[in-house]
A = this chain, B = another copy of it.
Amino acid sequence: MPEQPVRAKLVDVAERAGVSKATVSKVLNGRQDLSVRPETRRRVHEAAEELGYRPHSGARALAGASTHALALLVPALANPTYVTIARGAYQRARELGYLSLLAEDFDGQEADESFNDLVQDGRVDGLLIASARPGHPLLDALSRSRVPHVFLNRSVAGSGRNVTMDVARSSITALDHLHDLGHRAVGHIAGPPGITPSEVRKEAFLRHARELGLSAAPVASGDFTEDGGVSAALELLRPADGGTRPPVTALYTSSLAQAIGAMAAVRDLGLRIPEDVSVVGNDDLPVAGHLSPPLTTVAMPLYELGTAAVEALVAAIQGQPMGDVVVPTEPRLVLRGSTAGPGETP
């Protein structure tokens, strides 16, 4: 006898607990504008539990309350960085009673679509946006509507809704490591211009290179991809006129994918890692440990970035004033085989 598992409705719970719909709703939502006896409260929770009651999200949304859902917009799912962020966001959202949805925003092309599908159709209460570039079409749509949102990883100047990590510190950590090993000429592979973490890393790199008195600190930009790493690395490693050895002994990249590309480029030039060129990447993900040689990285607190962003967004949804947030966890150096002193065997 396959029981038809009819969804329990609010009225069913009410009936079972011997109270009215209104009471059940208020009790379950923990509203404090209602006074109930502890005994009644208990009965309600019990009834809901026994019936396996779950409110219908559509009905809730319709009744003017919230959908209890958020959406995280990322520029590229294939980038595992965002996967880690998404996990953090999902978990924290759950703990706060929200569902975090994930949407890929193919560089603006689909931003409007996603925005419409999610926000306009009333499926989510707020957005976590990791894909905002200056001039991104989404920014318009956002300012036009009044949807709560935060920017993460990218920051939008003056928005007062940026959730970021201490990206500058990651450059300092990486550079200190290379300097300690004896490197005096280090190249930086930056991300595309206009993207906050990319710019900040570059500035911090240049500033700290001056502070350390490096003899050379050239920078080349490339996409946050393997290919971007390849071309930037080739640019940085090209010997000066008449020279035969590359002008730097180490490379520090803004993303993990760039580091992978850079390593490939180094090898293509017939150079060895780390004997001829050391490489340090950003973002510590499993693949870093399986490269050849294993890649030294700066581990960024990606998971925490996700959780912090959700906390900020939920606070905003609940009407609290927003401000920029910086994740307190510091970047941490993960030492592997891709770095050694110049000319040294590891």
Residues of A in contact with B (beta carbons under 8 Å apart): 5, 7, 54-62, 67, 69, 77-78, 80, 83, 86-87, 90, 94, 99, 101-104, 113, 116-118, 120-123, 144-145, 225-227, 230, 260-261, 263-264, 267, 285-287, 289-292
Contacts and interface: CB of A to CB of B under 8 A. Distances in A.
Contacts of A77: 77, 83, 86-87, 102
A334 to B, nearest CB: 16
Contacts of A113: 94
B78 A99 contact: no
B60 A286 contact: no
State the copy count for this chain: 2
In this complex, the member of A5, A94, A120, A227 whose beta carbon has the largest number of chain B beta carbons within 10 angstroms is A120
Nearest to A3: B144
A117 to B, nearest CB: 5
Contact of A78 (B94, B101, B117, B286): B286
Contacts of A62: 56, 58-59, 62
Contacts of A7: 120
A289 B264 CA distance: 10
B116 A54 contact: yes
13 contacts: A5-B144, A56-B122, A57-B61, A57-B121, A57-B123, A58-B58, A58-B67, A62-B62, A77-B102, A83-B104, A90-B104, A99-B117, A260-B290
A230 B103 CA distance: 33
Given A77-B83, A77-B102, A101-B103, 4 more contacts: A55-B121, A86-B104, A101-B102, A263-B292
A67 B123 CA distance: 10
Contacts of A145: 5
A122 B5 contact: no
A226 B287 contact: yes
B120 A54 contact: yes
A103 B104 contact: no
Nearest to A55: B121
Nearest to A145: B5
Contacts of A267: 292
B122 A58 contact: yes
Contacts of A287: 226, 260
Nearest to A90: B104
Contacts of A230: 290
Q: Which 6 A-B pairs have the closest CB atoms?
A: A58-B61, A58-B58, A226-B290, A57-B121, A58-B62, A77-B83
A241 B226 CA distance: 42
In this complex, the member of A227, A264, A292 whose beta carbon has the largest number of chain B beta carbons within 10 angstroms is A292
Nearest to A266: B292
A286 B260 CA distance: 12
A289 to B, nearest CB: 8
Nearest to A69: B123
